[in-house]
């Protein structure tokens, strides 16, 4: 194997945690992979991988070398993609992680259109609301709602979604409808938290020109957007969601909006990706497709 192929092999072993899986994905015998990594460690004079019966992990030197390998390979891919003819026909595997409701309600219903436009791109899509490690999990980009917190990623704004506070008629008949944001403190709420965190998101409203937060107290808390709306339909309490999540329920009366005189701050939605992936032709065309898709779906 030449040096470039060895770097690709090493990064794949780190990302998969397995010699066998990395070798299979690259179409080489496991013995060849083992020999290539031994030769690489001898050439560098450093141990890069810790091998156990169950898993392969990078050493401290291995982690530092892995980060440099990723930048080298990404720069090479970007340079080739920028100069190749034509870049309008990108190919290869694109790994994407989508927040659940955006996957099911916005992106996946139109994903066949992306495939027809770029048939040589193979999509590998995971979904959920958890925070993902883009580098460690070898993910090219993610779509997330909320303010981006990781400054090491490129963030491209897709939309700013209007939100509503609502509840089922059954709940409002039992508890009454709040007439001022301060009355939220007396109501039951369906709590929502991000996977891996115990923090419940509060209600947020603009009151007298200032965004104010109100704790969401209640007896049930969930981490899935679909479950969040379902609990509201069952009369478990108030929820605050992007309007498009519950448009049908508001239209047919299964949910009712409250506190409509106090606007909720718009919820930003962004696509995020590592800096070294911004020159990848696959990432570029997918991001541009997302921008156009969200502009069409949420024109305001």
Provide the pLDDT for residue 275: 74
The 10s digit of each residue's pLDDT in 17-61 is 889 888 988 889 999 999 999 999 999 999 999 987 778 899 999
Is the four-CA dihedral 150, 154, 159, 160 of positive or negative sign?
positive
Provide the pLDDT for residue 246: 94
Provide the pLDDT for residue 82: 56
The 10s digit of each residue's pLDDT in 89-99 is 788 889 999 98
> Rounded CA gap, 236 and 133, in Å?
34
Provide the pLDDT for residue 131: 62
205: its two tokens: 């409203």
Cβ atoms of 57 and 263 closer than 8 Å: no
> Rounded CA gap, 146 and 296, in Å?
20
78: its two tokens: 């970007």
- Counting residues of the chain whose pLDDT is more than 90, the rounded percentage is 57
Provide the pLDDT for residue 279: 63
Provide the pLDDT for residue 85: 45
- The torsion defined by the Cα of 156, 162, 165 and 166, in degrees rounded to 10, comes to -110
Provide the pLDDT for residue 197: 60
Provide the pLDDT for residue 90: 85
Provide the pLDDT for residue 88: 61
- Residue 68's pLDDT band, with cuts at 50, 70 and 90, is confident
Tokens 């301060």 label which residue?
182
What are the structural domains, with CATH classification, of the chain? 3-83 (1.10.10.10), 92-161+268-297 (3.40.190.10), 163-265 (3.40.190.10)
Cβ atoms of 273 and 134 closer than 8 Å: yes
The 10s digit of each residue's pLDDT in 209-243 is 899 999 988 999 998 888 999 999 999 999 999 99
Beta strands in 184-296 (DSSP E): 190-192, 203-207, 210-214, 220-222, 239-242, 256-258, 267-274
Report the chain's mean pLDDT, rounded to a whole number: 87
The 10s digit of each residue's pLDDT in 109-156 is 999 999 999 999 999 998 876 666 665 667 889 999 888 776 678 889
- Residue 274's pLDDT band, with cuts at 50, 70 and 90, is confident
Vertex 282: Cα angle to 280 and 288 (nearest 5)? 100
Of 48-52, 85-89, 164-168, 201-205, the range with the lowest mean pLDDT is 85-89
> Rounded CA gap, 39 and 300, in Å?
57
Is the four-CA dihedral 288, 194, 192, 165 of positive or negative sign?
negative
Cβ atoms of 107 and 291 closer than 8 Å: no
Provide the pLDDT for residue 277: 64
Mean pLDDT of 231-256: 96
pTM higher than 0.75 for the full model? no
pLDDT at 84 over 60: no
Provide the pLDDT for residue 195: 65
Tally of CB atoms within 10 A around 88: 9
> Rounded CA gap, 258 and 264, in Å?
11
């Amino acid at each position: 194997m030449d040096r470039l192929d060895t770097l690709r092999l090493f990064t794949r072993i780190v990302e998969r945690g397995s010699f066998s899986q990395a070798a299979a994905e690259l179409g080489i015998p496991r013995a060849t992979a083992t020999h290539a990594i031994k030769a690489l460690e001898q050439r560098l004079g450093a141990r890069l991988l810790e091998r156990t019966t169950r898993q392969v992990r990078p050493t401290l030197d291995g982690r530092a070398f892995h980060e440099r390998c990723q930048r080298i390979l990404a720069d090479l891919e970007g340079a080739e993609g920028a100069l190749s003819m034509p870049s309008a026909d990108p190919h290869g595997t694109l790994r994407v992680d989508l927040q659940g409701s955006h996957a099911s309600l916005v992106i996946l219903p139109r994903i066949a259109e992306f495939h027809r436009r770029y048939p040589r791109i193979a999509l590998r899509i995971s979904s959920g609301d958890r925070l993902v490690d883009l580098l460690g999990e070898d993910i090219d980009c993610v779509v997330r709602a909320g303010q981006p917190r990781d400054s090491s990623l490129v963030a491209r704004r897709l939309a700013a979604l209007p939100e509503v506070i609502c509840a089922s008629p059954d709940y409002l008949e039992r508890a009454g409808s709040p007439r001022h944001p301060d009355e939220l403190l007396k109501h039951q709420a369906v709590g929502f938290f991000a996977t891996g965190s115990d923090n419940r998101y509060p209600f947020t409203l603009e009151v007298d020109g200032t965004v104010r937060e109100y704790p969401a107290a209640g007896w049930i808390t969930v981490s899935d957007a679909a479950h969040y709306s379902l609990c509201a339909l069952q009369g478990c309490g108030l929820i605050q969601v992007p309007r498009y999540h519950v448009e049908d329920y508001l239209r047919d009366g299964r949910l009712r909006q409250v506190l409509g005189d106090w606007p909720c701050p718009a919820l930003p939605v962004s696509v995020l990706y590592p800096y070294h992936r911004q020159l990848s032709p696959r990432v570029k065309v997918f991001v541009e497709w997302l921008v156009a898709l969200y502009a069409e779906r949420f024109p305001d």
